[in-house]
Amino acid sequence: MNKKIRNVAIIAHVDHGKTTLVDKILHQCKLFGEHEKPGELIMDSNDLERERGITILSKNVSVSYNDIKINIIDTPGHSDFGGEVERVLNMADGVLLLVDAFEGTMPQTRFVLQKALEIGLKPVVVINKVDKPNCRPLEVQEEVFELMFNLDGSDEQLDFPTFYGSAKEGWMSDDVTKRTNDITSLLDGIIKYIPEPKVEEGPTQMRITSLDYSSYVGRIAIGKVFRGTLKANQQVAVIRKDKSVVKQVIKELFVYDGFQRKNVDEAESGELVAIVGLENFEIGETIAHIDHPDQLDPIAVDEPTMSMLFTINNSPFYGKEGKYVTSRHIKERLEKELEKNLALQVHDTDSADKFNVYGRGILHLSVLIENMRREGYELQVGQPQVLYKMIGAQKSEPFEELTIDVPDEYSGTVIEMVSQRKGEMKNMIRKGDRINVEFEVPSRGLIGLNNQVLTATAGEAIMNHRFIEYRPTVGPIKERQNGSLIAMESGTAIAYALHKLQDRGKFFVAPGENVYAGQVIGQNTREGDLVLNVTKTKKLTNMRASGSDDKVLLAPPIEFSLEDALEYIEKDEYVEITPKRIRLRKILLDENDRKRAKMKS
């Protein structure tokens, strides 16, 4: 055993305080000097992670406590980024399972914990946020035990230690009735309960479990040394998934030291390392001794469940805000993303301007799109489509477990909404004045549901879902009840015109905003699309000035986030994305073209 190292992954549902706990561990282990002010959410280095308050990319950091090096792996909590979690768990020897003292176990907790238990990791449970009113730490601890039991945890895994505390306030204790001043009891628990890395005798073996990309040195292989040692400038055998062997040389070897990677000459088994110099490698392949190429079991990455069409922006407003607008730019950017985003696939279409991008869900794909628009790209994307599979002779589609936490008075409305989308209710639990309802629903039924549920519950509902499996397809699902309001002419939206047309529906544009013919500018109150002229100004007369009734009362326009827009559109619509704007439009801008296409279909 390598007693000087502990490799621990932190897993939790979104927003249960995982990244905040990592912050406190870094401060407790004095990773920063007195003069350094790192702030909060230190591990969320990406702007998008900080804004959304979620972890998207798994990251490694190492701290030293009582002369023992603790390698901490911060993992994403959202199931759309499950591809990240599964791989990095292979680098850990134990997990910290973080659970909210009020909310208890949630779908994503189950998703990640199942993966950890399957590969035999020892769990340490942390009940966080015990400072919240109405929290129920002892009940939640029972929930965690039941969950582990249902996931077929071993006797050793079910005999887990539990710590209680508040990551935000910076304390942890192994006694629910006793409050401490810091989190040393948790750090002592990590050293006591998380096993040392197992060191096997024999020649070198390492599995590539993650990768990074640098524009200077190319792809960087990351993983845990299972046995033997690795050295800089060592010749190694890279064993492919098809068992073919390629001889390569490690140019540079790094281990984690704080947030940085430290260049070393040698790394022992049990250590997490990053290797520079290997070419054309894939996740799950084995690096082995040149004379003894023994392969480790390869890792399977979950397949995509959803696709989206990416195409160039060809609207009348193209090129006004973006720096990269051509299909070549978009293709190069997608290929660059494939270097490090393993759950993503890009397929060419019969058009050079269009690409089918496959991912794990709308959030997974929208994070890529958001990063692209911030980098100066302009593009258009089509409606998300679930991926079907033939299992035997049966056409199958992905199903998800959906949990909705909702106030009691809205529960009937929510159950009816999900049932209309072919969802089947499995469980219903009361938590105080709120109801927690569990469904199994086709992935298709989730597209656009979040918006509708939030509107129906006055923003009170909390929705979470995770992929279960492929099942035989269910019948057609009508996703959007209302048609679109479409601009008739290009020009500027006028308050006078919007005021006169308010009874037609809800608008997405404000007065003074430029619109073009074929742009979706609102939601119709009825089914079917309606073409409107919002650029119409009031006629001048000798008797009345054009500004005499400026005091029109307009409802504020609906503003879509990127995910909302992707979930809202229909099959004949695109979301136009530029660095400054998100617009909705019809694929065919001309009204006569749309009529002809409708007649053909």
131 labeled binding residue: yes
Q: Is 15 annotated as a binding residue?
A: yes
Residue 177 annotated as lining a ligand binding site: no
Residues 6+ apart with CB under 8 A from 535: 487, 488, 489, 490, 491, 492, 493, 494, 497, 515
Q: Which helix (H) or strand (E) holds 23?
A: helix 18-28
Q: How many CB atoms lie within 10 A of CB 569?
A: 24
The pair of structure tokens assigned to 418 is 């999900």
**311 assigned ligand-binding residue:** no
Per the annotation, does 7 bind a ligand? no
Residue 23, amino acid: D
Q: Are the beta carbons of 534 and 557 closer than 8 angstroms?
A: no
Task: Please give the C-alpha separations between residue 111 and each of 83, 190, 323, 515, 565, in angstroms, as whole numbers.
Answer: 11, 23, 40, 44, 27
Handedness of CA 557, 559, 564, 569 (dihedral sign): positive
Q: Which residues are within 8 A (CB) of 461 and not within 5 positions of it... i.e. 6 or more apart? A: 404, 405, 406, 410, 414, 453, 454
181-185's contacts with Cβ under 8 Å and 24+ in sequence apart are 182/28, 183/21, 183/24, 183/25, 183/28, 184/28
Q: Which amino acid, one-letter code, is at 145? A: F
**Cα 166 to Cα 293: distance, rounded to the nearest angstrom:** 47
Asked if residue 140 belongs to a known ligand binding site, the reply is no
Q: At what angle do helices 82-89 and 107-118 cross, to 10 degrees?
A: 30
Q: Determine if residue 229 is labeled as part of a ligand binding site.
A: no
Q: How far apart are CA 530 and CA 509, in angstroms?
A: 16
18 annotated binding-site participant: yes
- 499 assigned ligand-binding residue: no
Query: Rounded to an integer, what is the distance from CA 582 to the centroid of its chain?
Result: 20
* Residue 16 known to bind ligand: yes
Q: Which amino acid is at 246?
A: V
Q: Which residues make up each annotated binding site for GTP?
A: 15-20, 128-131
Q: Which residues make up each annotated binding site?
A: 15-20, 128-131
